Chain A
Amino acid sequence: MNILETDGERLLLAIRGLLAQKGIVSPAEIAERIAITDNASPGQGARMVAKAWTDPEYKASMLADGAKAAEALNIPMRGMPPLGVLENTPEVHNLVVCTLCSCYPRAVLGYPPFWYKSAAYRSKAVRDPRGLLAEWKTTIAPDVKIRVVDSTADYRWMVLPMRPAGTEGWTPEQLAAIVREGDMVGVTVPAAG
């Protein structure tokens, strides 16, 4: 039998059967993991951002330990890498990239978008971040420092963007609705409406 030419469905069934038979992973654990993966989306990270914008205590805990802050909003983090949160300020704008592969905070942002994995994004982010941001129509003032965070190892990183003007008095639900995937990677910044 050539494993490379075997029908994928049958191979998967066989492996799942063996994992269960040997007591390594139960079918229930596999089902749970599939559910977690399906639920992971930028909407989860957006809920964290909106909460941080409206609750200073939560924001402090999120900057100290992103995984703990995610779990506080019922986002499952078991078995996930540590999560770091990078705060954008009037002085510093963060941009996340993984030049070596495609490390991405999947638990809170879901599956990485295609452009994040492209060689073009990965090389230009570290070499010419302002040129890259211009392609996204994002302008960062010349005196604001861009901090390019190369996600090379055990952590995963998400950006906490600045709350945009014009959102005073908004509910966390309204705020979460304007936070996009790119805002939490740093290629874009959120705007009201």
Chain B
Amino acid sequence: MTLDAGATVRVKDDWPEARGPVHIRTPHYIRGRTGTIVRHLGDFPNPEDLAFARPAAASPLYHVAFPMTGVWNGQGAPDELLIELYGHWLDPV
């Protein structure tokens, strides 16, 4: 499934680093936050497996925009964050 530009998504509020050794490309500060898909950047081998030399399936990578106000307790308007995130970290809202 590919998410379309304009779709609203929520980043999983998941903390795999609490369960064991991991390599995660989803920054802490954005987990649990709601953003908007800007564009599908392509499909890339999942770095969470690549980093451990495991077979890595391709995962869709998206550019996702988040208003600063939704990340930093209402502060930071009118600025925004634009972050590369893999599809398996995103839930459609």
Residue from B27, B44, B61, B78 within 8 A of A150 (CB atoms): B27
How many A residues touch B, CB cutoff 8 Å? 20
Known: A82-B42, A127-B72. Contact between A153 and B82, CB under 8 A? no
The majority secondary structure among interface residues of chain A is mixed
B residues near A148, Cβ cutoff 8 Å: 68, 79-82
Contact status A153-B80, CB under 8 Å: no
Contact residues of A with B, CB < 8 Å? 82, 84, 99-100, 126-127, 129-130, 143, 145-155
Contact status B82-A149, CB under 8 Å: yes
Contact residues of B with A, CB < 8 Å? 25-27, 29-30, 41-42, 44, 47, 61, 65, 68, 72, 78-86
The majority secondary structure among interface residues of chain B is strand
Contact status B27-A100, CB under 8 Å: yes
Known: A145-B78, A146-B79, A148-B79. Contact between A155 and B27, CB under 8 A? no
* Complex-state Cα separation, A40 to B44, whole angstroms: 25
A residues near B44, Cβ cutoff 8 Å: 153-154
Q: How far is the CB of A99 from chain B (nearest CB, A)?
A: 5
From A144, which residue of chain B is reached at the shortest CB distance?
A: B78
From A82, which residue of chain B is reached at the shortest CB distance?
A: B42
Residue from A143, A146, A147, A151 within 8 A of B84 (CB atoms): A151
* Complex-state Cα separation, A129 to B85, whole angstroms: 21
Q: How far is the CB of A89 from chain B (nearest CB, A)?
A: 14
Residue from B41, B47, B79 within 8 A of A155 (CB atoms): B41
